[in-house]
Amino acid sequence: MVRILIADDSRVIRTRVASWIAAEDDLELVGQAEDGLQALELFGRLHPDVVVLDIEMPRLDGVATLGQIRATDPHVPIIMFSALTDSGSRMTVASMLAGASDYVPKPLSFQFEDEVRQTLLARIRALARPSLAGAERAPRVTVTPSPQRPGSPSPELIVVAASTGGPAALGTFLAALGRVDLPIVVVQHIAPHFLRLLVDQLGELLGTDVAIANDGEILRAGTIRFAPSRVHLELQQWDGRLVLTYSDAAPVNSCKPSADVLFGSAAVLGHRTVGVVLSGMGTDGATGASVIVAHGGLVFAQDQASSAVWGMPGAVVSQGLVRAVGSPSDIGARVRSLVTTGRPTRVEVT
């Protein structure tokens, strides 16, 4: 039984969500809070398996409530349940960067209620499984690093894949990596209306050039580029320059953009590519990671203990493709050392 706490200042929303959960045999609503302060009191007393948080609440808003929960429990799944207003969207993205596991938009009208109900219940179940299985206590996977080949060239490109739980992992990884003298290209599975906000907030957080990639853009060192929504992003080489191009091909792994498409296109160009696979559902990135390794590149994956969902990184690890497994900050330090010295740091990850 998945035990759920909801915090929302709207009695109507609390009542509707309570009715959705009451109809499910495997879910139980153990607490309802009218604001963030009450949510913190109930969380400490009830120890729920999943928390559903509104963004805009009196006394203590959802982002501040999230921060206080994360200070005491870094692993409990937290779903932000917010309206898609300008303010709500900005705060939702801020909450994802602060460690929210996922988000579900509130229904705009009763016409869309069933769709939102199905989405929220599916997210609760998906996020609760690793928590109930004890993911927070799961041992880190031991990976035997592939030997460093003498004379191997330094990496020239970093490609990153992320999905559910990815924004927080991305922020931590990129902050630990710092500014490096090579380009970074990211596929983050996220709703289109959140992508621009995520890119803007990461740019402010990191103080560097972060943007959504343009079709035909020349890739430059020191920049971070995100795949746009609803198209694949590929790398090509024109006159010795790396160029980002759009593709309207069919979805891969039900994803568009797909990390497999980006990773595969980067790997075959002859540059030593570093692939990083962060938290996310599904297996997107696993096939592309195998292409990176086959062409002499290296792959790093987020560990289960720090992942909201260990689908994408777990798929890469299970295939024996990774150089090392670690938290986003561990991976950032390793990749930085690899870029600057040619060898990854000896961060303990077992």
We report the CATH number of the domain holding residue 292 as 3.40.50.180
Catalytic hit among 284, 290, 327, 330: 284
User: What single-letter amino acid sits at 188?
Assistant: Q
Residue 33 lies in a domain: yes
Catalytic hit among 163, 279, 306, 327: 163
Domain end, chosen from 80, 108, 137, is at 137
Residue 79 lies in a domain: yes
End-to-end CA distance of the chain: 31
The domain containing residue 319 runs over which residues? 157-341
My answer on whether 287 and 203 are in the same domain is yes
* pLDDT in the model for residue 152: 58
My answer on whether 75 and 181 are in the same domain is no
Residue 290 lies in a domain: yes
Residue 198 lies in a domain: yes
Reported as type and span, the H/E element at residue 89 is helix 86-97
Find out whether 157 and 182 touch, Cβ atoms under 8 Å: yes
Strand partners, 233: 246
Mean pLDDT to the nearest integer, 255-274: 94
* pLDDT in the model for residue 132: 55
pLDDT top residue among 40 and 129: 40
My answer on whether 322 and 180 are in the same domain is yes
My answer on whether 23 and 96 are in the same domain is yes
Mean pLDDT check: name the lowest of 124-133, 179-188, 293-302.
124-133
Residue 346 lies in a domain: no
My answer on whether 186 and 241 are in the same domain is yes
Catalytic hit among 189, 271, 303, 327: 189
Number of domains in the chain: 2
Helix pair angle (86-97, 192-206), 10° resolution: 60
Instruction: Name the CA dihedral angle for 57, 51, 166, 143, rounded to a multiple of 10 degrees.
Output: 150
* Residues 112-160: tens digit of each pLDDT: 789 999 999 999 999 997 655 444 334 344 444 444 444 456 888 999 9
Nearest to 190 by CA among 217, 213, 161: 161
Strand 217-218, strand 241-247: pairing: antiparallel
My answer on whether 171 and 315 are in the same domain is yes
My answer on whether 133 and 229 are in the same domain is no
Mean pLDDT to the nearest integer, 8-37: 96
Q: What 3 state SS string does the chain have?
A: CEEEEEECCCHHHHHHHHHHHHCCCCEEEEEEECCHHHHHHHHHHHCCCEEEECCCCCCCCHHHHHHHHHHHCCCCCEEEEECCCHHHHHHHHHHHHCCCCEEEECCCCHHHHHHHHHHHHHHHHHHHHHHHCCHHHCCCCCCCCCCCCCCCCCCCEEEEEECCCHHHHHHHHHHHHCCCCCCEEEEECCCHHHHHHHHHHHHHHHCCEEEECCCCEECCCCEEEECCCCCEEEEEEECCEEEEEEECCCCECCECCCHHHHHHHHHCCCCCEEEEECCECCCCCHHHHHHHHHCCCEEEEECCCCCCCECHHHHHHHCCCCCEEECHHHHHHHHHHHHHHCCCCCCCCC
Residue 289 lies in a domain: yes
Report how far apart, in Å, the C-alpha atoms of 130 and of each of 54, 77, 104, 307, 311 are: 23, 9, 19, 9, 10
My answer on whether 87 and 179 are in the same domain is no
Q: Specify whether 163 is catalytic.
A: yes
Domain end, chosen from 83, 106, 137, is at 137
In sequence order, the 6+-apart residues with CB closer than 8 A to the CB of 74 are 99, 136
My answer on whether 180 and 132 are in the same domain is no
Residue 332 — pLDDT band, cuts 50, 70, 90?
A: very high
Q: Specify whether 189 is catalytic.
A: yes
Residue 46 — pLDDT band, cuts 50, 70, 90?
A: very high
Mean pLDDT check: name the lowest of 4-18, 143-157, 166-180.
143-157
My answer on whether 164 and 312 are in the same domain is yes
Helices (H), 178-319: 192-206, 259-267, 286-294, 312-318
Residue 195 — pLDDT band, cuts 50, 70, 90?
A: very high
CATH code of the domain in which 68 resides: 3.40.50.2300
* pLDDT in the model for residue 345: 55
* pLDDT in the model for residue 348: 40
My answer on whether 123 and 167 are in the same domain is no
* pLDDT in the model for residue 344: 62
Mean pLDDT of the chain, nearest integer: 90
* Residues 225-264: tens digit of each pLDDT: 999 999 999 999 998 899 999 999 999 999 999 999 999 9
Residue 241 lies in a domain: yes
* pLDDT in the model for residue 335: 95
Report d(CA 268, CA 252) in Å as an integer. Answer: 18
Residue 52 — pLDDT band, cuts 50, 70, 90?
A: very high
What percent of the chain has pLDDT above 90?
81
Q: Specify whether 49 is catalytic.
A: no
Q: What region, left, alpha or beta, does residue 132 occupy, with left being phi > 0 and alpha being psi -120 to 50 degrees?
A: alpha
Residue 348 lies in a domain: no
My answer on whether 170 and 203 are in the same domain is yes
Helices (H), 239-298: 259-267, 286-294
